[in-house]
Structure formats: structure tokens, C-alpha cells
């Protein structure tokens, strides 16, 4: 096979990032000291390439085409396989080219998907109560300056930074190795995030939502659209329980999530005020059937981490981002949390975000709801407006900027898919191994939390289920009307587009200050 443009491009760029030149490797390179040195080099290349490294074989260190014998080439491939196995990787592809009677090759190496324990936590709470600052301090280990300096690691939009208010969902990752947190100097650095994913034995992924009331739909999307294991409700000691606090707690409980509460800004108030907030939180939790558990020391942690898993108990940790009070307890609590059971059904992922990436094409991201997916597999994507689904191929995947060849339930991943155009897709579509059903109508049991008057047939709220946010119509009801506090059975129809929904899914509906929850009973294709 003649030299191609990709090989020439690699040679022109030279070594660096995740690219390594090797003329040949043989039994000499398997000697203990030399082998370990080369294994460290490969591990570095994999980290730099976010899980992918490229070795160009049969060229000098300077990039001069040499060409080696078939025997030398095969021996080199064998050594690379040994090295890859040593660092938990594998050879994903080998391309060969004839050069001057010899062989030159491009070898791609990918990190194997490690069996890491993963937990997904959604943060919520009133605006300016310190959600982003709390997460920023956790992942860096740095104290805040009292003015939200660590918040910048999660607020990445220009107007978010200028106003000090989060306006969209952001993601962060905290890794643990041998029970200790892996700190990041700059969590905005993609390589640092990738390195955490590479090194960690346990990963805590944060979905940081929005506290400002006008963006409630974004908060709902964050808590419903990802397969959250636990909800982390943040309450500032200087403000205490607010209406948004109650609203966000209600969403978590409606979604049947175990809840943890962090009281922030304890450095700004007297101890008596902290006790007052603890008391009001305890009363709120008891009113909704949950038991507060004030975590004061390490002994409390182990009991709380077991009890919260069964949901009735809500651990409460008092913290300060300025003094880092309580952060050791919160970290230990997070480390001791157990993942919740994942669905073992076929692969299904709801699309949360869409990207058009230069050189890659269309990328969809979201949290894997069930099953697993591998690079190169074909999946269905849709439904499109006519209710159809199309087959696409998974070209590549990344998790927190780290290249992976497999993703499973609970992973937040970006997936490059072809062939499909960016403009054809929308949030709320699904990727699935089995061809799903497109649904226009379904029956559901609903509970109305708040509504100023009476809900009748023809009512048009926005429904939130998974990452879907769509106007629906209440077509039929088993009662003449529903008011605040009522339960009922309703036939619901999507107004603009069909979606893939199924029996047992829970949802939230809202319209202005009117809110309610429901569960899908039956779908109609």
C-alpha cells in the first residue's frame, strides 16, 4: 500500500501530544528497565491523547522514512502489544505502507475501558447559595476567596462569569484513588480532566444545575435528563430555606432520588444561625417523610452513607468554602456512597447536547440510561418528525474529554455519529440498539402540586421527561377538572414532535407557576 496523506501529515507535524515515532522494537526493549520506561512513555501519550495514542513505526525520531523488514515490523507490533497490555490498553488498528522495499506502519492504541465505580450527583438549590463554588472547592481542594473564585471552574459562559450566576448545566468530575481525592489545578484544562478519568478508581461526576428561578426548566433538565444517583441540595447558612430550596427538593423527591444536603457559608454567620437553619431543614424534611441526619464526624459518615442509599435518611453536612470546614466530611461521604442499581436493558441514551466538531462531524452527548455501547457499533437515532429512526455508526466516544471505546449505564459521554447532519437532530432524541417506538400519545397518572385555578381538557403545559422538554396537550381526563392537590388519569399528546417514551417513566409538567408530576402508564404508537 503506497504512502498516504495521513502518514505524511503525521511526519510533517512530528512527535508530540499523543504521537510517537519508533524505527523498530525488539527483545531488547522487553528488558525490565527499558520496558518500564517505554510503558511510562506510552501511558503519557495515552493521557495526552485523552485515551488514544498513535505510534508511527519504521521511521526515525526525526520523522525520516526508513522502512523495516516484515520480521522486524511483526516483532515491533508484538512489543507494542505487550506495552499496551502493561498500561491497560490495546492496539485498535494497524495500517501498513510499503517504503523502499520495507514496511512503515501507523499503529493506533486505545485505553481499555476500566471497571471504575461511577456515581452521578446532581446539585441544586437557590441562586447564590454556593452550588458551583462547593463543587469547585471539592475538585480542586482549594479554599474560596469569599467572592466565588472557585465558581469560575464551572461557569464557563461569558455572561455567567460576569454576573456570577450559572445559566446552564455544567459538568465536573472528582476522582478518588486509594481513598484519596485526585485534585485538579485547573479543572477547565481538558487534559487534567482526562488524567483524572485515567487514574481514578472511583469517579464522582457532578451535574451542576441552575438556581435562578427563570431557568427552572434547565434545572429540571439536569436532574431528569441525566441518570442521577444522588441529589446534592445546597442551602446557604445566611439565607436558610428558600422557596427554590423547597421546589428543588420536591423535584428530587418526585424523581425518587436519595438526597444529601450541604449547608454552605457557615463562616458568614453565628453558630446560632447555623442551628436555626438545621432546625428549619429538619422540619422541612420531616414534613415530606424524610429523616434528617446531621453529620458531625467520621463515625457519622459510615452510617449516613448506608442509610441515605435506602432514601428515607438525608445526611446534612455544614460547610464553608472559605475555611473548608466540613469538606473532609463531605469528601468522605461522597467516597463511601454506593452506586444505585442500573437498568440492564439494551443500550439507550437520551440526547442532551449537540455539537458540530471540526474534523469529527456531529457529536451528541448525554448520560447512558441503560446497557452499553462500543465504538464502531450501529445504533438507531430519532425519532424524526415523521416518527422514523435511522441507523448511524458510533465513530468515537469521549468521557470528560477522555477517549473511551466503551460506555455503560451512568456514563456521561460525547458520541460522534455518522451519517447524520447536525441540523436534523434535537435534544430529547434517543440513541438505541433496538429500533424504538415513536410516541405521540400516552396515558399517565398525574398529581397537581400547584395551579391557580382548575385544569381542564385542552390544558397545554411543558412536560419534562428525561431530556425531553415539549409542549403537550391534556386530551382527555378521568375527571371534569383537576386542581392543586388532586390526582387523576390523563391522556396526553405531544404537540409538535413525537418522542420515545415508555411505561414507568416519571415526568414533571409545568406552565407558569403551575407544576405537577406524573408517571406514564401506557403509550400509543
Q: Strand ranges (DSSP E) for 375-486?
A: 378-382, 390-399, 402-404, 406-408, 412-418, 430-432, 441-450, 462-465, 468-477
Number of C-beta neighbours around residue 74 at 10 A: 11
3-state secondary structure at position 118:
strand
Assigned CATH topology for domain 5-111: Translation Initiation Factor IF3 (3.30.110)
pLDDT at 218: 58
Give the fold, CATH level 3, of 117-336: Rossmann fold (3.40.50)
Percent of the chain with pLDDT over 90: 45
Q: Is the dihedral of CA 84, 88, 94, 99 positive or negative?
A: negative
Q: What's CA 129's distance to the chain center, in Å?
A: 23
Residue ranges in the chain modelled with pLDDT below 50:
1, 155-169, 211-215
pLDDT at 223 (0 to 100): 59
Condensed to tens digits (0 to 9), the pLDDT of residues 188-238 reads 777 787 788 778 888 888 876 654 444 455 556 655 655 788 999 999 999
pLDDT at 152: 55
Kindly state the percentage of the chain with pLDDT values over 70: 89
Domain parsing of the chain, residue ranges: 5-111, 117-336, 348-432, 441-524
Identical fold, 5-111 and 441-524: no
What residues are paired with 177 via a beta bridge? 180
Q: What is the per-residue pLDDT for 12?
A: 87
pLDDT for 138 equals 92
Asked if CATH classification 3.30.450.20 holds for the domain at 441-524, the reply, yes or no, is: no
pLDDT of residue 222: 52
User: pTM value?
Assistant: 0.66
Identify the pLDDT of residue 490: 97
* Element at 316 (helix H, strand E): strand 313-318
Which residues are within 8 A (CB) of 37 and not within 5 positions of it... i.e. 6 or more apart?
none
CA angle, 170 then 123 then 125, to 5°? 115
Q: Which CATH architecture has domain 348-432?
A: Beta Barrel (2.40)
Amino acid at each position: 500500500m503506497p504512502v498516504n496523506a495521513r502518514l505524511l501529515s503525521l511526519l510533517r507535524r512530528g512527535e508530540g501530544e499523543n504521537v510517537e515515532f519508533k524505527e523498530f522494537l525488539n527483545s531488547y526493549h522487553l528488558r525490565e528497565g527499558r520496558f518500564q520506561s517505554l510503558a511510562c512513555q506510552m501511558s503519557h501519550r495515552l493521557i495526552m491523547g485523552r485515551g488514544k495514542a498513535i505510534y508511527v513505526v519504521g521511521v526515525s525520531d526525526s520523522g525520516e522514512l526508513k522502512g523495516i523488514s516484515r520480521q522486524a515490523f511483526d516483532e515491533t507490533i508484538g512489543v507494542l502489544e505487550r506495552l499496551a497490555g502493561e498500561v491497560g490498553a490495546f492496539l485498535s488498528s494497524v495500517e501498513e505502507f510499503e517504503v523502499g522495499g520495507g514496511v512503515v506502519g501507523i499503529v493506533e492504541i486505545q485505553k481499555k475501558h476500566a471497571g471504575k465505580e461511577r456515581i452521578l450527583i446532581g446539585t441544586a438549590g437557590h441562586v447564590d447559595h454556593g452550588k458551583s463554588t462547593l463543587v469547585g472547592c471539592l475538585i480542586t481542594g482549594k479554599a474560596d476567596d469569599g467572592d466565588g473564585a472557585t465558581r469560575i471552574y464551572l461557569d464557563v459562559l461569558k455572561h455567567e462569569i460576569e454576573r456570577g450566576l450559572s445559566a446552564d448545566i455544567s459538568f465536573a468530575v472528582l476522582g478518588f484513588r486509594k481513598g484519596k481525592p485526585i485534585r485538579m489545578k485547573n479543572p477547565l484544562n481538558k487534559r487534567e480532566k482526562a488524567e483524572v478519568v485515567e487514574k481514578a478508581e472511583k469517579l464522582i461526576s457532578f451535574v451542576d444545575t441552575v438556581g435562578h428561578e427563570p431557568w427552572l426548566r434547565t434545572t429540571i433538565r439536569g436532574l431528569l435528563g441525566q441518570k442521577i444517583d444522588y441529589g446534592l441540595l445546597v442551602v446557604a447558612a445566611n439565607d436558610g430555606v428558600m422557596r427554590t430550596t423547597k421546589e428543588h427538593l420536591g423535584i428530587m423527591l418526585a424523581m425518587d432520588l436519595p438526597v444529601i444536603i450541604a449547608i454552605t457559608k457557615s463562616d458568614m454567620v453565628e453558630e446560632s444561625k447555623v442551628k436555626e437553619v438545621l432546625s428549619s431543614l429538619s422540619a422541612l424534611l420531616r414534613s415530606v417523610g424524610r429523616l434528617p441526619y446531621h453529620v458531625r464526624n467520621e463515625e457519622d459518615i459510615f452510617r449516613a452513607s448506608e442509610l441515605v442509599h435506602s432514601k428515607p435518611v438525608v445526611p446534612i453536612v455544614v460547610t464553608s468554602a472559605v475555611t473548608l470546614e466540613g469538606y473532609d466530611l463531605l469528601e468522605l461521604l461522597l467516597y463511601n456512597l454506593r452506586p444505585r442499581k442500573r437498568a440492564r436493558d439494551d443500550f439507550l441514551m437520551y440526547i442532551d447536547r449537540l455539537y458540530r466538531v471540526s474534523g469529527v462531524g456531529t457529536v451528541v452527548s448525554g448520560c447512558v440510561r441503560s446497557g452499553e455501547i462500543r465504538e464502531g457499533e450501529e445504533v438507531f437515532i430519532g425519532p424524526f418528525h415523521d416518527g422514523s429512526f435511522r441507523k448511524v455508526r458510533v465513530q468515537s466516544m469521549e468521557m470528560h474529554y477522555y477517549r473511551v471505546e466503551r460506555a455503560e449505564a451512568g456514563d456521561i459521554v460525547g458520541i460522534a455519529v455518522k451519517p447524520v447532519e447536525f441540523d436534523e437532530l434535537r435534544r430529547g432524541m434517543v440513541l438505541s440498539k433496538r429500533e424504538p417506538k415513536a410516541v405521540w400519545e400516552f396515558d399517565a397518572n398525574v398529581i397537581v402540586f400547584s395551579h391557580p385555578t382548575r385544569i381542564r381538557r385542552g390544558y397545554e403545559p411543558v412536560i419534562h421527561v428525561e431530556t425531553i422538554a415539549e409542549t403537550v396537550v391534556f386530551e382527555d381526563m378521568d375527571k371534569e377538572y383537576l386542581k392543586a392537590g388532586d390526582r387523576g388519569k390523563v391522556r396526553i399528546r405531544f404537540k409538535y414532535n413525537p418522542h420515545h417514551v415508555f411505561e414507568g417513566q416519571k415526568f414533571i409538567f409545568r406552565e407558569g407557576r403551575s407544576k405537577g408530576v406524573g408517571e406514564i402508564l401506557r403509550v400509543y404508537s
